[in-house]
Chain A
Amino acid sequence: VMEGRCAVETWAQFGFSGRSYKVKILCGFGTDVLICTGTEEIYVFSKRERKITASIRFTSDASSSPAELKISQECLVVGADEVSSLLLVGSVLLTLCQRDASWLLTLYKTPKQTASTSHKEFGSFHLPVASAVDCGAAESNRGPRKGSVLICIHSGDVEASSSSNASAESTVAQDHFHLEPLLFKLLFGVEAALAKSPVILCGLPDGRLCFLPLRLPGSRLRVLHSLEQPVCFVGASVVTETGHAQCLVAAGEQGRVALIKTDKAGSEGGSAVAAFTEGCVPGPVWCGCMDKSCFYYSTGADLLRLDLSEGSFARESKERGEETSGTTAAALQSPSSLNVCRVIALAEPACTGDVQLLGVSARGQLQRICLPAGRVDEGSSKLPSTQVSRSVRDLLSAIGDVCERYAPSVLKTVIKSKNQFLRLLNHAVSVSFLLMADTTTDLPIKEKPIRCHFETSWSRLLQKDSLSLVCFLHNSSPFVLERGWTLSITVSPLSYSSSPAGESSSTNFSFPFHDLRPGQTFEASLPIAAAGDASFPMTVSCSLIFSLSSLLGEEEVAASFAGLQSSCISLPLSTLTVDWLHALQLNSPTATHKMATVQPSSAAADSIQTFLSSRQLRCSGRTNRGGESAAKPEPEKYSASVWVSSEIVRDTLKPKKSSNLDAKESIRDPEDLYKIALSTSVAHARGPNGAAMKLTVKEVNHKEATIEVQIESSSLAAVCGLHHAVLRRIQRHRESRLYKECPDFRIKTAFGEVVSTVQRDRLLLSVYQELRRNPLLIV
């Protein structure tokens, strides 16, 4: 046998398995051991023959699997349901069960030999069920009811009289303890001691330890202590030479252990008091048993031993007083492992010599567990456990000190900032994925998680008009756009020719975000052009940029990695062409400076509506035929005109007629143009270069219903620009219709690379044919 290890000898295998809390081993029947499986069987194992000699079965289910079962005769007949534990004290049988809202301890008188088998109930005690104790109650609702513990405690000095129940002696022992008289008196009162009454102690699943002096007239069930977790073991240990236990032990299912001892040098006045020491041992406690000085318990994973006598004795003689509780607590902290696992029931057959335990494993094996011969502490010259634990405690605190001292705040902040950094990166990646998913799927713009739109407006500052573009970025993604994220807007003219230097005249604006939370909108206003010096149309493209450098902190990066500065992730958001129409300043009587843009507001919008409704009535029913435009330049005034089928305009207008038009949409669609013009039929406006221009819209009944849009201005640039803008829009509109009509094309263009040139040609041809069939637009 190895030092410090137990010898486990399997004696028998039973036909049951599975984890059950209800398995019990009962010793004290001579050489027989009884194993109650908690179901309907009891096995009798003979130690001498080393085999199971009998098994007792209950045919009826009347015995609802009591947690403890004593069999003094072959059958005890007590018709009680749901008995959770029982105990035999002399001629009295006690049962404990839960009835509705109270615990019921019932006393039965066992018949005197010859009388009938049925036991006569002659008393019962109630104890209200405590309000549910955390998990214990919840579990008991689900699973089977937890068992309770019933034991009987005698005062040590009553032994002389207890010989009278010698008849029952053979059956008792395991659940009967003789407690030191002083402790007995302290816990249960002088009266119980004077009446020589045994005391029934019951541990309930709600954690309470209750006691009842059995023979004291008028006594009640009273609460001694509460473990606040289901009690799974109660016993007495630390037995002196006189055979009196000096310590009452109660163990809860989750490892809370209460040791109750006499504190001789009590707090006040020097009289003895009962000292309750509570501590936690590594739980869960599945089952337990006691011998003369130790408490053994199984956690399922291991069998542990708590030595309760050691230390507390040796030291008590030397230094009294508060040391007692200290050492007891220390004893609780150092259970020693015995390296036996999966024990679900334990018993201590009280043999002399070596310590032997009987256990039942979860697999249903009856095992004899021989503890290492001689105490472990004798083998090695090891320090008393109290000293060990104290030095360990010192060491631990020293380590703690060092840790405190040498882990400076810098390190902590570095760790913290790194965590922060990782979090930000994670966000960045998430946002990127979000936006990438955006481009592949084709969400309507309103449903995009991060979207932006623009508005243009003229403003006058210092006698100078200037066009500014306001960009709104709405964050409806679940992420916060924080430090490191920048909104970048690039404005570049569509054609470079105007630039004298020939170089790219694009302008870049960037707006770093600070903390754009989900649901918030960011608004950035940027000047595009002052009046007169702009080349329209221009492209505005905006993108989200995540830069590592801003994340890391500029100064560090600048210092160490110059190259890293450019490293950033750029995610395009949207692109917009700002053309002449956007930049138009209307000169209508109601129009102020701001009216130039196409904001559907106030009076203008109303008049548009009225006009539209009247116009629409007249237009309805016309056939769908395209129009034709022709530029008719004149010497002093240039003009251009576009013919559009009113059908198109009407079609697209219809669904949106009542809705409040979104600014960003309105500016792009032909109906706006239509609206602008139709609101007055004739619109006078100024272009961005200051040139006055006239926009006329009239209905021409050429062949079919057609609308003619005429642009007149003295400035050629203005005419061209506006004409371009109008055409572009109509074109775009037409295009989108086309996409709808021949989706095939769209799909193929979407996979542009795959389509071969031949195919493309063919496609274009078909598009052309399509266009020819509906000749709507000829430039």
Chain B
Amino acid sequence: MYQPPSLPEKWSQENNELVNKCKQQEAAGGAVSRDHRQSSLRWCSSEFHKLLRKIQGIPPHVDHSQLELAVVYNTCVCFTAQSQFSEAELLLKEATERVLQVTGNNADTSDPLVLWRAGLKSAGNTALHPHVLYLLCLQWALWLAKCQLENIGELQEQMSSLCEIVCDGVGDGSLSEAKGRLSKSPLLVMEPKRLTELLQICTSIAQGAEKLNEGRSSEALSVLQAASALPATRALVAYTHLLSGSCLAHMNRPQMALQCYKRALETDSRCVCALYRSMLIYRQLGNTQAEIQALRLLHSTLMLPPATEPVLGGIQPLSPSLLLSSQSLSRLLSVPSALSVLYSLALKCVLSGRVTEGVEHYLDLLAALHSEDQHAVDAEVSVLPRMPELYLEAGTALLFTRRPADCMAFCNEVISTTLELVPEKVVLEEPEEGIGGDARGLSVEGEDKVAMLLWAAAAYLVQGHCHAHLKDWKQAVTHYTRCINLLVKVHLKNRDFQPQIPAADVNVKHGKDLCTLQRMKGLSLAWRGISFTQMDQLREALRDLQLSLQAFPDYTGAGLWCGEVLWRLGRKHEAAACWEKTWSLTTQTSVEKLPLYLQDPQSGPLLDSVELRFRIQELGLT
């Protein structure tokens, strides 16, 4: 006689069909776009939810509780995968309450921790126990995704027993029995064992990051090193190595940190962050060659197309990225954009003397910025300098490689852009600390007039250098003069300091603009003086050099040339004094902090200190 299937049977069938469909879609969906995946997930979750509401429409009963819990599990997995955490949490809470009802307990609490303890206890050794544990897994995942690590800590022992049961429990004597039951039991979207494994390592990583963030590096290190032995995907294991490296770097063991980073890279070659961190360590160690190497590698890795997306998760509904969303972790894993890496690389090359290479990188960078494919994608803070500064730096680098014509072209670009906007008069009122930094985000139409002026002036300065390099002294004088003319438009509004005597610590004390202004004044006047010297206009040269020294006393070039001019004018003793004084100035302001275009040009006429000393000696002899 035909018996129509009972309701639970029908539901169970429905659930299994849905699970199979989901798995099919996932299997097929590996290649399909994210959008598609999202929509199929949405469909699944709504279907599961519908089924669940049907099942929960009748009072809980032991007979179909297993089925109900399985459907709750499936629904929650789908919800969680779509980041609908609150919905999932609500379902879990309801499910636990229903479990309590079935087992004849009731909890009046709304505290999830208490509820879970009660639920686990009441499920005890019944057939429901594994299913309740599965749900606990999901709760764990939710807490992890919401970065509520303290909750996980609270249920530490339940979790560890859960791990034992879920992961190893299959192995004990009840294997066959379990198998037998499994054949009947409803299907699950995601295997609880895999979920547990994933959760374990992700929790360790998140905890490690949290501890590292709080400065408890050694604790973090032990957690992470334990986690690195856990079964997981390569990417996750690489993370544990990477974070261990960060811990070691914190604990001032750069070499060991480097080892860890290396291991991370060996584990997962796409772990860019390890590369970046190693680069930072090389920089810290002062190993420029290695740093440049690392930057280059980093850049080329970043430029690789992010083609095959499923690096992390495989084709599981719950991806590690969902579970690892804590801020401290993302801060630790963040990597600057390819462009800023390229910029660092270029600058580093130029500063470390690999100018030709540096120029290539600069040109690459500008080309990338102008390419059609470049788009203002991420609003993340960019470490790139502003556009005109980039032009000027590239131009200066070109000049270093003796390509003055190209350099001049760059400068012309900057001048043509900015000159129209330079006002007749600018008041430079030094803002309090910290305000100047945000100029980028500030107004646009009122874009910092001072910056505009300084850019134009710097462009003229660099053009002057170009002409000086070409020994076209007249042109050089013209351009330096233009630079000076622009610079004198800036009126300093002094609050409580004397701009006439900028001390060496001006750099620190008063904003960047003032420092740039004074430095530029010093440079342009000095170099005009030097140009005049070359044209044998010694009086003008002396005047300019002395003015330069007034504006920027630290500039040794001006001091030396001032002495030279004095010498040529026959004021030999004064010249000697001037040289001596200049040599005694050892306060070499850190060149690295200055923009490239404000550094002393490496070309042009040079004075040999040895020769000068020799002259002084001679003078002393006579």
Contact = CB atoms under 8 A, between A and B. Distances in A.
Nearest to B339: A217
Given A269-B423, A269-B426, A274-B445, A218 B387 contact: no
A270 B444 CA distance: 18
Contacts of B376: 123, 125, 197, 212-220
A157 to B, nearest CB: 9
Contact of A216 (B387, B414, B425, B447): B387
Nearest to A190: B417
A191 interface: yes
A188 B444 CA distance: 6
B417 A187 contact: no
Nearest to B449: A271
A122 B379 contact: no
B419 to A, nearest CB: 10
Contact of B420 (A118, A185, A191, A268): A185
B386 interface: yes
B389 to A, nearest CB: 10
A268 B387 contact: no
Nearest to B34: A121
Interface string B237-259: 00000000000000000000000
A494 to B, nearest CB: 89
A219 B386 CA distance: 11
B494 interface: no
Instruction: Report, as a range, how many residues of chain A touch the other chain.
Output: 35 or more
A218 B372 contact: no
A636 to B, nearest CB: 101
Interface residues of B, number: 41
A189 B448 CA distance: 10
A116 to B, nearest CB: 9
Contacts of A213: 376
Contacts of A214: 375-376
A120 B379 CA distance: 18
Contact of A79 (B35, B380, B425): B35
Given A123-B378, A125-B379, A222-B444, A118 B372 contact: no
Interface string A188-232: 111101111100000000000000111111111010100000000
Interface string B415-432: 001101111111000000
Interface string B344-386: 0000000000000000000000000110111111111110101
Interface string A370-388: 0000000000000000000
A182 interface: yes
B375 A218 contact: no
Contact of B379 (A118, A196, A220): A220
B421 A123 contact: no
A268 B424 CA distance: 8
Contacts of B420: 182, 185, 271-272
A271 B421 contact: yes
B449 A194 contact: no
A182, A195, A217 interface centre (most CB from chain B within 10 Å): A217
Given A189-B444, A218-B381, A222-B444, A90 B424 contact: no
B372 A90 contact: yes
A32 B382 CA distance: 45
Given A271-B421, A271-B424, A187 B445 contact: yes
Interface string A72-106: 00000001000000000011100000000000000
Contact of A123 (B370, B375, B445): B375
B33 interface: yes
Given A185-B420, A215-B369, A123 B377 contact: yes
B33 A118 contact: yes
B422 A191 contact: no
Interface in B438-494: 441, 444-445, 447, 449, 452, 455
Contacts of A185: 417, 420-421
Contacts of A215: 369-370, 372, 374-376
A92 B375 contact: yes
A273 interface: yes
B491 to A, nearest CB: 11
A459 B169 CA distance: 113
B413 interface: yes
B35, B391, B418 interface centre (most CB from chain A within 10 Å): B35
B39, B413, B420, B445 interface centre (most CB from chain A within 10 Å): B445
Contacts of B339: 217
Contacts of A190: 387-388, 417-418, 421, 447, 452, 455
A349 to B, nearest CB: 28
Contacts of A189: 444, 447
B387 to A, nearest CB: 4
A505 interface: no
A189 B441 CA distance: 11
B421 A218 contact: no
B376, B420, B425, B445 interface centre (most CB from chain A within 10 Å): B376
A261 B601 CA distance: 41
B514 to A, nearest CB: 19
A218 B423 contact: no
Contacts of B388: 190-191, 194
Interface in A249-287: 266, 268-274
A220 B444 CA distance: 12
B337 interface: yes
Contact of A191 (B337, B386, B421, B424): B386
A266 to B, nearest CB: 8
A218 B452 contact: no
Contacts of A269: 423-426, 449
A525 interface: no
21 contacts: A79-B39, A91-B373, A118-B35, A123-B375, A123-B376, A123-B378, A187-B445, A190-B387, A190-B418, A194-B388, A197-B376, A212-B376, A217-B382, A218-B381, A220-B376, A220-B379, A220-B441, A268-B425, A269-B423, A269-B425, A269-B449
The 3 A-B pairs with the shortest beta carbon distances in the complex, nearest first, are: A269-B423, A218-B382, A271-B423
Given A194-B414, A212-B376, A215-B375, 4 more contacts: A118-B33, A189-B444, A190-B455, A271-B424
Interface of B: 33, 35, 39, 337, 339, 369-370, 372-382, 384, 386-388, 391, 413-414, 417-418, 420-426, 441, 444-445, 447, 449, 452, 455
